[in-house]
Amino acid sequence: MKKLIIAALSATLACSTAYAAGVTEKDLANDTATAGDVLTNGMGRHLQRHSPLTTLNKKNVKNLLPAWAFSLGGEKQRGQETQPIIHDGIMYITGSYSRMYAIDVKTGKEIWQYDARLPEGILPCCDVVNRGAAIYGDKIYFGTLDARIVALDAKTGDVVWRKKFADYKAGYSYTAAPLIVDGMIITGNSGGEFGIVGEVQARDAESGELIWTRPVIEGHMGTYKGKESTMTGTKNATWPGDMWKTGGGATWLGGSYDAETKTLVFGTSNPAPWNSWLRAAGSPKGTEGDNLYAASRVAINPENGEIKWHFQTTPREGWDYDGVNEMVAYTDRSGNKRWATADRNGYFYVLNREDGKFVSATPFVKNITWAKGIDENGRPIFNEPNRPGDPAKSADGKKGEVIFAIPSFLGGKNWMPMAHSPKTGNFYVPSNEWGMDIWNEPITYKKGAAYLGSGFTIKPIFEDYIGSLKAIDPDTGDVKWEFKNNAPLWAGVMTTAGGLVFTGTPEGEVIAFDDETGEKLWSFQTGSGIVGQPVTWEQDGEQYVSVISGWGGAVPLWGGEVAKKVNYLNQGGTLWTFKLPKQLAAAE
């Protein structure tokens, strides 16, 4: 009996210790390889969005059935862009207006809900979306539209700590899923349209206390352990006068982490204002108003926040071609360590993973007008007549020459994450084929006001489609197959070792494609547009797929003629979960 009691006590202590430890750094590092959970945004901090599961495959995906659906409830049905996090039998999702839900993965029943108390006067650029959470230890973390980071008890939803990282009244906000590395919660910021300054911050995940900060616009000073560290770049090297002080470069999409090189990579948004003539006037000779480090990828040492390297996709950016699109760490078919990104400017870039050196760039959308190509150093060969005109040279000084540019400012690809398949070696890129009338206007900075200096109208360029899911060979840039969609694609993509590619459409379909041919193998109508991010996991020997449905995001707000074309689409807020029952797994 004594031995039984001791054994029982030991088992209890072991369970208590496991619960106290919660999710560890090792768990996060192994996220892609573990089938029973989804612990990171991107299904791995490399952001490949690939699952090794093969139970669900090309032959049996037609047998995928709804398991349960969860409604976010209320009237707050705006764009739902979250990626679920799954741990210890609980699924965590975020919702529009900075909400979070914990859901029982077996039943779809709500365990708890947290609503951030947002103040009046928040200034979200592109809908009141939230793209997901981060989990570590016994806490679940997410950002809010009033520029705060919140840590909640993962079991109860109680607030553990809440930290303000910037002033929402100046235009700062936060919509991305945080990133956890070595016990730090690492975040960016949103608000590039308001003349804010992009920054990456690292905090102690347990306490929320700042460890380091790294502004991404030259001339601003970083901090480390509460003291000034080093300046970002060299003040006025590529920015004229005091414009660097309100230079934009928001790090609004969040970052990726490569454990092999111990490197964080964050993308940076448009420089502010959009009017590139204002940012070029008086620039030092030879820089042509590059405006570092806006429209760039910035590699950061996670230990101290120091910049390791940078790569600027669009110097002297004048079309709102943000450089925030995710950087995916992968190994190519020849064994080379690479980064890949599909930029808003319409080019698919491959960089060397060790040092960020340029490898290649190829167009992944059609009819690009703003550049004639990319040179051997990765710098665009500008088509200067396709730059919006300087209003200072117009007859009335109020409006520069209107030009038609491709792609539109919402990009060849916007925030919606692509996926990589180590099985095929290809990337699966949700893209859009559209253009815009764009012109420049005079503008001066005013705190909390839009700081654009441009006007625009987005227009379709083809009659039969706008959205295009493309399978791209990163070694050659060749498009292996393409799925065309009437409305713009705005959802994330996922691949599986079972040979499947999952995504969703604004028309409400969640779809599974053959990863080699692009054949549509399965679909389900969810009732509202899908702009969320699919995930898959295994439970009790059965494979599950989840994705949220709820139309919104930037297209209805900024889409011009395209927005009018899809104004019939209904909003919503439902998390759909599907499963392949055991008895149907072997059926064809």
DSSP string, 498-567: TSEEEEE-TTSEEEEEETTT--EEEEEE-SS---S--EEEEETTEEEEEEEE---SSHHHH-HHHHHHTT
DSSP state of 575: E
Domain membership of residue 13 (yes or no) is no
Domain membership of residue 79 (yes or no) is no
**Structural domain harbouring 232:** 21-72+85-585
CA 235 from chain centre, in angstroms, equals 29
Q: What confidence score (pLDDT) does residue 585 get?
A: 83
527 burial type by CB count under 10 A (0-12 exposed, 13-18 middle, 19+ buried)? middle
Number of other residues whose CB lies within 10 A of the CB of residue 465:
18
Helix or strand (DSSP H, E) at 428: strand 427-432
Provide the whole-model pTM. 0.95
**How is residue 332 written in tokens?**
């190519």
Q: Work out whether the CA dihedral 145, 316, 298, 79 comes out positive or negative.
A: positive
Residue 212: give its domain's CATH number. 2.140.10.10
Our answer to whether residue 104 is catalytic in this structure is no
DSSP string, 72-106: --SS-------B-EEETTEEEEEETTTEEEEEETT
Domain membership of residue 520 (yes or no) is yes
Alpha helices by DSSP H, 281-374: none
User: Structurally, how many domains does the chain consist of?
Assistant: 1
Helix or strand (DSSP H, E) at 202: strand 199-204
Q: What confidence score (pLDDT) does residue 169 get?
A: 95
- The CA-atom distances, in angstroms, between 191 and each of 324, 459, 541 are 13, 25, 44
- The CA-atom distances, in angstroms, between 416 and each of 326, 494, 535 are 9, 11, 14
CB 510 within 8 A of CB 533: no
Ranges of the chain whose pLDDT falls below 50 = 1-20
Could you tell me which residues come within 8 angstroms of residue 64 by beta carbon, excluding any fewer than 6 positions away? 56, 512, 522, 524, 545, 578, 579, 580
Domain membership of residue 443 (yes or no) is yes
**How is residue 392 written in tokens?**
């200072």
Could you tell me which residues come within 8 angstroms of residue 554 by beta carbon, excluding any fewer than 6 positions away? 125, 126, 127, 410, 414, 490
183 burial type by CB count under 10 A (0-12 exposed, 13-18 middle, 19+ buried)? middle
Domain membership of residue 284 (yes or no) is yes
CB 192 within 8 A of CB 269: yes
Degrees, nearest 5: CA angle 126-128-130: 105
Distance CA 24, CA 405 (A): 47
SS3 labels along 458-514? EEECCCCCCEEEEEECCCCCCEEEEEEECCCCCCCCEEECCCEEEEECCCCEEEEEE
Domain membership of residue 243 (yes or no) is yes
| Closest to 294 in 3D by CA, of 197, 178, 408 | 197
CB 495 within 8 A of CB 50: yes
Residues 181-223 pLDDT 10s: 999 999 999 999 999 999 999 999 999 999 999 999 999 999 9
**How is residue 367 written in tokens?**
């009819």
**How is residue 415 written in tokens?**
């925030």
Of 320, 322, 343, 515, which residue is the catalytic one? 320
- The CA-atom distances, in angstroms, between 192 and each of 175, 215, 270, 275, 442 are 13, 13, 6, 13, 18
Could you tell me which residues come within 8 angstroms of residue 416 by beta carbon, excluding any fewer than 6 positions away? 430, 489, 490, 491, 492, 493, 531, 533
